[in-house]
Amino acid sequence: MSPPLDSGSAEEPSGDLRSVLVTSVLNLEPLDEDLYRGRHYWVPTTQRLFGGQIVGQALVAAAKSVSEDVHVHSLHCYFVRAGDPKVPVLYQVERTRTGASFSVRSVKAVQHGKAIFICQASFQKTQPSPIQHQFSMPSIPPPEELLSYEELVDKSLRDPELRKKCPIGLTRIAAQEVPIEIKLVDLPRLGQQKAKQMFWVRARGYIGEGDMKMHCCVAAYISDYAFLGTALLPHRYPVRFMVSLDHSMWFHAPFRADHWMLYECESPWAGGSRGLVHGRLWRRDGVLAVTCAQEGVMRVKQQKLESKL
């Protein structure tokens, strides 16, 4: 893939301001052929490993086993056990198939001798096609006109009502430690009518045009952040337990993960203690870059009155 033509992107830094997602989070340690070790950078308050980190690291491991002229077009993952944040993760790559146009890699993430995550990624050589279409990008304010996540945290800390209504953990620590920048288009609240939210997102720091494979790995990390919570927005129940079951991504066009992209998330269905969420990552120039889907377990604390009925 050639580097994207992305309008309205941030200026390139003059110094060494490489994104920590490249230098640390997605920088795997090779142990043997097709065997890598990944370490942790940010652990959520749940003390479970962040799913986006596992997806991103697994895609890095898979991408190391294919040639430079192929790029990931899809991945499908299952989270089978909770990750332990106290120990590293081992990634074992199986070269399932290497074809003329498509190559498939299977990745198993292991801790304590057991699989915690399995993934299949498919890579394709660039092929032109006369068949092209896409949805239209929503018309929303640009990121420059919106509050940063840190500014929103400060505002919520000064406004008790805003802090009480906000369904996501707006804490100063979370805003500082997550290696991605976020600007919410609208502040989502539990009990709102639609199971939908949109926010601008990009990696902190500089990645550069470089290898498109790395931008895809960074997008895999970003794609899991605040994603499943979209299914909770039409409801007022406080969360007791929420965890991803599976995660899929389709990569459509080249992009820069260190440039602002719009993440459009919506949940078409929830039931049976599970929720389904769809997502679209848009470039600023209106090109649909990535499509995502995820299902997860969601258990909530129901009101005492309802539990008696």
- Chain centroid to CA 78: how far? 14
122: phi > 0 → left, psi -120 to 50 → alpha, else beta; which?
beta
User: Where does the chain have alpha helices with state H?
Assistant: 20, 51-63, 149-158, 160-165, 172-177, 212-223, 304-308
Query: ∠ at Cα 159 (239, 240), nearest 5°?
Result: 5
SS3 158: helix
DSSP secondary structure letter of residue 82:
-
**Range 277-307 burial, b when 16+ CB lie within 10 A, else e:** bbbbbbbbeebbbbbbbbbbebeeeeeeeee
For this structure, is 267 an active site residue?
no
Query: ∠ at Cα 40 (56, 64), nearest 5°?
Result: 40
Q: Which of 97, 49, 100 is nearest to 221 (CA)?
A: 49
Neighbours of 20 (CB within 10 A): 16
Q: Which of 57, 156, 248, 294 is catalytic?
A: 294
Distance CA 303, CA 308 (A): 9
CB-based contacts of 188, cutoff 8 Å, min separation 6: 166, 167, 168, 197, 230, 233
Q: Which of 57, 111, 156, 224 is catalytic?
A: 224
DSSP secondary structure letter of residue 256:
-
For this structure, is 9 an active site residue?
no
Using the Cα atoms of residue 43, residue 46, residue 49 and residue 52 in order, give the sign of their dihedral: negative
Is 242 within 8 Å of 229 (Cβ atoms)? yes
SS3 239: strand
For this structure, is 24 an active site residue?
no
Q: Which of 19, 223, 244, 248 is catalytic?
A: 244
Active-site residue set: 224, 244, 294
